[in-house]
Amino acid sequence: MPVAVPRRPCLVVRPEDTSGSSDENDLPSPTRLKKKVVFADDKGLSLTQVRVMTEPSNVPPMFSFQFLAQVTKGISAEVVPEPWEVTFQQPASDYLDFRKRLDTGNVSLENVIVRESEDIVVGTVKVRNIAYHKEVFVRTSSDDWMTHEDAYCTFVNSNTTTPETAAFVLYDTFSFRLTLPPRSHRLEFCVCFRCQGAEYWDSNSGKNYVLLKKSSSKEEEFLLHKLRRSNSDNSPIQNKIRCADAVHAKLDSWSEFASWNHLDNSSPYW
Residue extents of the structural domains in the chain:
84-213
Taking the C-alpha atoms of residue 6 and residue 195, their distance in angstroms, rounded to an integer, is 91
- Residue 136 or 263, more confident: 136
Exposure pattern of 158-172 as b/e (b: 16+ CB <10 Å)? eeeeeeeeeeeeeeb
Is the pTM here over 0.75, yes or no? no
Cα angle 232, 128, 202; round to 5: 35
Q: What is the pLDDT of residues 197-253, one digit of tens each?
A: 999 999 999 999 999 988 655 555 556 566 666 655 554 444 444 555 555 555 555
Counting residues of the chain whose pLDDT is more than 70, the rounded percentage is: 60
Exposure pattern of 106-139 as b/e (b: 16+ CB <10 Å)? bbbbbbbebeeeeeebebbbbbbeeeeebebbbb
Give domain 84-213's CATH architecture: Sandwich (2.60)
Name 85's Cβ contacts closer than 8 Å, sequence gap at least 6.
Answer: 114, 211, 212, 213, 214, 224
pLDDT of residue 237: 40
pLDDT at 124 over 80: yes
Instruction: Go through the chain and tell me how many residues it has.
Output: 270
Of 78-82, 112-116, 123-127, the one with minimum mean pLDDT is 78-82
pLDDT of residue 158: 75
pLDDT of residue 166: 55
Cα angle 123, 128, 129; round to 5: 115
Q: What is the pLDDT of residues 29-44, one digit of tens each?
A: 555 666 777 777 777 7
pLDDT of residue 37: 74
Whether the CA torsion 132, 148, 201, 125 is positive or negative: it is positive
pLDDT at 18 over 50: yes
Residue 268 · residue 111 · CB < 8 Å:
yes
Cα angle 99, 101, 106; round to 5: 100
pLDDT at 187 over 80: yes
Q: What is the pLDDT of residues 54-72, one digit of tens each?
A: 777 777 667 777 777 777 7
CA nearest neighbour of 111 among 125, 101, 99: 125
Taking the C-alpha atoms of residue 58 and residue 182, their distance in angstroms, rounded to an integer, is 25
pLDDT at 96 over 80: yes
pLDDT level of residue 75 (50, 70, 90 thresholds): confident
Rounded to an integer, the average pLDDT of 149-176 is 80
Backbone phi, psi, residue 153, to 5°:
-90, 160
Which of helix, strand or coil describes residue 169?
Answer: coil
